[in-house]
Amino acid sequence: MNPHRNPAPQVVVATLAFCGIVVSLMQTLIIPLIPGLPTMLNTTSANASWAITATLLAGAVVTPIGGRLGDMFGKRRILIISLLAMVMGSVLCALTDSLAIMVTGRALQGLAMGAIPLGISIMRDLLPPQRVGAAVATMSATMGVGGAVGLPLAAFIAQSSDWHMLFWAAAALGAACLALVWLVLPESTVRTPAKFDLAGALGLAVGLSALLIPITKGSDWGWGSLSTIGLFGFSIITLLAWGAYELRITAPLVDLRVSVRPQVLFTNMASIMIGFAMYGMSLVFPQLLMAPSATGYGLGQSMLMTGLALAPGGLVMMALSPVSARLSARKGPKTTLITGAIVICAGYVLVLFLNAQVWQVMLSSMVISAGIGLAFAAMPALIMGAVPITETGAANGLNSLMRAIGTSTSAAVLSVVLASMTMPVGPVSVPTFDAFRVTFAIAVGAAALAGLLAAFVPGRASVPETTPVAREAVRV
């Protein structure tokens, strides 16, 4: 197919959705390996955790920067670079038993996380107005679908063959994404001609790293340790200085004046809480399902069976994407976001009382996933309805960053709860049943706060409508 002709809308959506699912797989790819990572990499558990932290940090930093680069130099071009980084990182991980190389490879995999907001922005540029809402909803759902499908897939590969095969499989999927994007997608003609804000990018990268490292490592270092407190303080100073700098220059990395518009600001604040609630399910439900039956509450499932039990949640997200698009078209994405938050609350309340059987946990995860699917579909619609078309990449990247901050905070807070309320089972300690109930209650609060913040989004924001400006795309 000639990449410089406009493909059919369904081809654009299918290509970008496949890329979104593959990129999201990177989040859960390594979960089956976590217990054995110290042995595999000949290191300590604390050092092995950098293989997870590196992906998180790289993904959080790259999403707003990649979005801005896409606005300036072409979204297809930056998407290809992001996917190429993921393939390179996967190959590095597949070839190594070294911690340093593994962390480097995982960071390169994390750089691909910008593909999802870039994909959403490409859809706005290329698709007819009547297709944008449903397409954005589908792309947003891939964030959950990839994670849900990736868990059983990764568990199966890890249990049936050498663990390096996980990363060879990731490299193959990434290569397939690269080929599809190269052959199918045209480049968007929507550009923001400006000088790249290198100082702003470096300042944001340093400030975010200083914020997210202690969030993810605080339980290992100690929340009152000098390292944790010092990095938090440094991040505050750095991000304040970065914000002041961004407000003074004419072509900032992130236009903070647009970002403080109520529709953008409250959507981003709600995104943090939705990200928090989403990760609660990813972190806590597997531990509940795999807890030994000797605890009195554990369901004693293997990693593979746990992944299969949670996989339907991802399918629910994808199935609901057209529903969320229709709801947003009729009532506005603000209503969809509030509805999603309420459904997430209901799912966590359900698991508070129904958790004695695998099917009960499955049902709760499907309800929560339905709410996440609704919320994820609404957030980019709200953002794109409030920013100029030339800034959609950066704005969607910033929104993805807010979700990443929510997931990081969730991992830190809920891990502390689970680690502080334990009981002995043979030679090991496991979380008590009360610890799980506390995490569920915290997630209910986060989802409720998301709904409250969404209520402050002004008016009835419409689903973004844009003419397909890339009818004659430029050759890159």
By three-state DSSP, how is residue 422 classified?
strand
**The pLDDT of residue 435:** 93
Q: Indicate left, alpha or beta for 296 from its phi (over 0: left) and psi (-120 to 50: alpha).
A: left
Tokens of 226: 């000098």
User: Does this model's pTM top 0.85?
Assistant: no
User: Cα(53)–Cα(427) distance, rounded to whole angstroms?
Assistant: 28
In the chain, the largest separation of any two C-alpha atoms, in whole Å, equals 67
User: Cα(248)–Cα(32) distance, rounded to whole angstroms?
Assistant: 47
Residue 325: CB atoms within 10 A of its CB come to 25
Residue range 254-300, pLDDT digits in tens: 778 888 888 889 999 999 999 999 888 888 998 899 888 888 898 98
Residue range 136-185, pLDDT digits in tens: 878 877 877 777 777 788 888 877 888 899 999 999 999 999 999 999 98
**The pLDDT of residue 255:** 79
User: Cα(396)–Cα(16) distance, rounded to whole angstroms?
Assistant: 15
Tokens of 436: 């799980």
User: In the chain, which residues have pLDDT < 50?
Assistant: 1-3, 461-476
User: What count of Cα atoms within 13 Å lies in the side-chain half-sphere of residue 137?
Assistant: 31
User: Cα(343)–Cα(277) distance, rounded to whole angstroms?
Assistant: 11
**The pLDDT of residue 459:** 63
Amino acid in position 331: K
- Are the CB atoms for 376 and 317 separated by under 8 Å? yes
User: Cα(277)–Cα(326) distance, rounded to whole angstroms?
Assistant: 24
